Amino acid sequence: MTNLSRRRVLSLGAALGLVGATGTATDAWAWSPTGSVAGAGAGTDPEYVWDDAIDPLMAKVITSGQVPAVNKGFETWVNNDDPLPSGLPAELTTYLEGVNKLPSWADPKKLARAADFNRRKDTYLFMLYGLGSGIMSTVIPREAKSVYWSAGGADMQDRAAKTFTFGYDLAQLKGFEPEGQFIVTANKTRMVHAAVRHMLPQSPHWSAVSDQKIPISNADILVTFHSLGTFVRRKLLEWKVPFDAEDQEAFLHSWQVALHLLGVRTEYIPTSWDEADKQSAQVLTPILSPTTEGIELAEDLLGLTAQIDLGVTRGFLNEFVRYVLSNEIGDWLGLKRDYAAATLIRTAWPAFILFREGLNPVAPGAFYMFDQFIRALAMAFLNKGASGQTTPIVIPTHNRQD
C-alpha cells in the first residue's frame, strides 16, 4: 500500500470513526486469533473459509428442486421455540437440530442487557443502521456486486426489508429467548447465504465483475459486521450518546453470538472492541470504494423513503448520509449537495441528541423534522412500509437476470 493510499484509508477511517490516528491496513490477513472468542486458531485467512456445514446441503436442496418445500416450511418456523418445520430434507433437519440454539458460551444476562440498550437507543440505531451501514454496504465492492447480481438486487425494497428484519429481530427485547425470533432468523439467513454461494457463481454477470469464485466468505461476513456493529458503536461514542462499558460489552456480545449463528468460526470473532477495531482497520476501511453496482443500489435505497412522504426532502437525506459517512463517500455515490440541509443537520442533530438524552431541556427547532425522518426510515424498511411484522426470509431460486 502506498503512502498516499494509506493516508486516504486513515482519513476515511477517521471520518467513519473506524480507525484512529494509529490505525494501519495491510494486504495480508494479519489479525491474531488470540484476540478472538476462541482465544486461539490456525490463523487461516477467512477469505478462503466458507460454511462447510450448510453449503453442500443447500446445494442439494437447490439441485433436487426442494426449495419450494423448504420455503413452505419456513412459513411456520418463526419463533425460536417453534418446532422445526416438517417436510424438510432429512439431512437439513439433522443439521438444524444441531445449530438452532445458542452457543454454550452465550451469556443470557449480556444478551438481555444488549436488548434493553437497543430499546433505549433505537432512535440512533435506526439512523445508523439504515443510513450509515445500509449505504456503506453499497461502497463495499464485493457486497455491492453480490447483492446486485443475486435475486435480491432486482427488488431492493424487499431485500432491504429482509435485511432490516435481521437487525430488528437481533434488537428485540427477547430476541435470543424462546419467544423471540433471532435464532431462527439467523439460521434462515445462513441458509440463504449458502444458497447464494451455490447460485451466484453460475451468473455470467457476477463472474464478469467479481474477483471471487465463491461469494460470502467468513471474511465477507466479518466486513459486514464491522460496517454494522463496529461502525455503530464508534458513531455513538463520537456523537457522545451515553454508552457505558457494560452496555458496550453487552452490545458486542449480541454481535458475537450473531456471527456464530451465521457460521463464522469463533477464531475470527473478536473478543473485545479493541480487537474489533483492529480487525476492522484491516478488513473494512481499506476496501471501501465505489462500483457501478453500488451506485445504483444506493440510489434504489435512498429512493425508498420517498415512497412514504413525511416531509423529508431528498436533499436532507443526501446530506444526512454525508454527515454519517463522509463527503468522500457522498461524492462517490453522486449525492447532490443541499448546503442548507447540511448546515441544519450539523447544528441541530447534536442538539437533538442532547434533548433526547435529557442533557438539555430545550428541544431544537428541527426536533419534529428529525422525529418524522426517523419514522419514515423505519417504515420504509419494515416489511415494505406495510407493517411492523417480520418480513419472510426465503431461499432464492435464481440470480438477477439483467
What is the pLDDT averaged over residues 46-70?
Answer: 97
pLDDT tens track for 341-391: 999 999 999 999 998 888 888 777 777 778 777 766 666 665 444 444 556
Contact between 399 and 199 (Cβ < 8 Å)? yes
What φ, ψ does residue 270 adopt, rounded to 5°? -60, 140
pLDDT tens track for 217-263: 999 999 999 999 999 999 999 999 999 999 999 999 999 999 999 99
> Grid coordinates in use for 236?
455513538
CA distances from 189 to 245, 246, 247, 252, 348 (A): 30, 29, 26, 20, 38
Task: Encode burial over 306-316: b for 16+ CB neighbours within 10 A, e otherwise.
Answer: eeeeeebeebb
What φ, ψ does residue 389 adopt, rounded to 5°? -75, 160
> Grid coordinates in use for 243?
454508552
pLDDT of 300 reads 87
Whole-prediction pTM value?
0.92
Phi-psi region of 20 (alpha: psi -120 to 50; beta: other; left: phi over 0): beta
pLDDT at 21 over 50: no
| Whole-number average pLDDT of the chain | 88
Residue 281 amino acid letter: A
Residue keyed to cell 440470480: 399
pLDDT of 364 reads 77
Say if residue 387 is exposed, middle or buried (CB neighbours under 10 Å; 0-12, 13-18, 19+).
exposed
pLDDT tens track for 85-139: 998 999 999 999 999 999 999 999 999 999 999 989 988 888 898 889 989 999 9
pLDDT of 275 reads 98
pLDDT tens track for 305-351: 666 555 567 888 899 999 999 999 999 999 999 999 999 999 999 99
